[in-house]
Amino acid sequence: MEVISGKEMAAALKQQLAADVVGYAEKYGRKPNLVVILVGDDPGSVSYVTGKAKAADEVGIDNSTIRLSEQTTEEELLDLVRALNVDTSVDGILVQLPLPNGINEEKVIETIAKEKDVDGFHPMNVAALWQKRPCVLPCTPKGIIRLMKNMGIEMAGKRAVVIGRSNIVGLPVTKLLMDENATVTVCHSRTKDIAKICSEADILVPALGRPKFVKAEMVKEGAVVIDVGVNRDPETGKLCGDVDFDDVATKASYITKVPGGVGPMTIACLMENTVECYLHNMKAQGK
């Protein structure tokens, strides 16, 4: 059994991006520029935004976080996004989710220019993903595939099972696994006999948000297990995944840990998306 270190891979990707950014900055006269918008002061969101800013600093991406009060109206937020859309010095716009009640998330996401949508959540990027056209890929699914590729894990012809069908993880990772020629089954809260389906998986991707849901008896001997969940263990209060790591590690050939697995790769892929959006922006400006 081998633990896939998302932390190490993320560090390597950020290092590579940092070197690339030095060269790009010389060529284009400025660094990539990411603007993060945080509405309210939900502690989870504050911590995510802080982590993204730290990663951007490491890569040499100019970044700023615009903090708005919980009382911000939808129209005020949309006006800010529209202003950033037309600001040619801004390459990436990230609105931290979830947004306070009263602000329509879908409306906000579809207002972000799709070329600056570093999260890959804009409906045009989603549609392009499903039609295999150029697009900004959502960071977590992109990171999951990258983790497996970096480990040399063959996906073609393999039976993959994804647990979860959300727009940000379950659905896009399903599509990316199909693009790698895996045969994919998607499970959700209404799936019957989930343990049996999971136990047939060569590649298991739990993304349901239930602490330690996946036990050894649900896992095939030698399976690759990529744990997306980020939960609080109800017993210890510590962070844990959707996989009971100690139990499942006895069966898996490769497994990720929480924390230190998919999470860091998600952030590194966000940095990569920002650099890609910047390069697109430079090209659009004829540079």
Tell which one of 266, 273, 274, 281 touches ligand NAP (CB under 6 A): 266
Listed ranges 13-21, 27-35, 85-93, 188-196: which one lies at the site for ligand NAP (CB under 6 A): 188-196
Residue 227 bears catalytic tag? no
Q: Is 7 a catalytic residue?
A: no
170 touches ligand NAP by CB under 6 A: yes
Q: How far is the CB of 227 from ligand NAP (least distance, A)?
A: 9
Told to judge if 285 belongs to the known catalytic residues of this protein, a careful annotator would answer no
x/- contact string, 194-233, with ligand NAP (CB under 6 A)?
x------------xxxx-----------------xxxx--
HEC string of the chain equals CEEECHHHHHHHHHHHHHHHHHHHHHHHCCCCEEEEEEECCCHHHHHHHHHHHHHHHHHCCEEEEEEECCCCCHHHHHHHHHHHHHCCCCCEEEECCCCCCCCCHHHHHHHCCHHHECCCCCHHHHHHHHCCCCCCCCHHHHHHHHHHHHCCCCCCCCEEEEECCCCCCHHHHHHHHHHCCCEEEEECCCCCCHHHHHCCCCEEEECCCCCCCECHHHCCCCCEECCCCCEECCCCCCEECCECHHHHCCCCCEEECCCCCHHHHHHHHHHHHHHHHHHHHHHHCCC
Decide: is 164 part of the binding site for ligand NAP (CB under 6 A). yes
| Residue with smaller CB distance to ligand NAP, 24 or 120 | 120
Q: How far is the CB of 144 from ligand NAP (least distance, A)?
A: 9
Residues that bind ligand NAP (CB under 6 A): 140, 163-166, 168-170, 187-191, 194, 207-210, 228-231, 262-263, 266
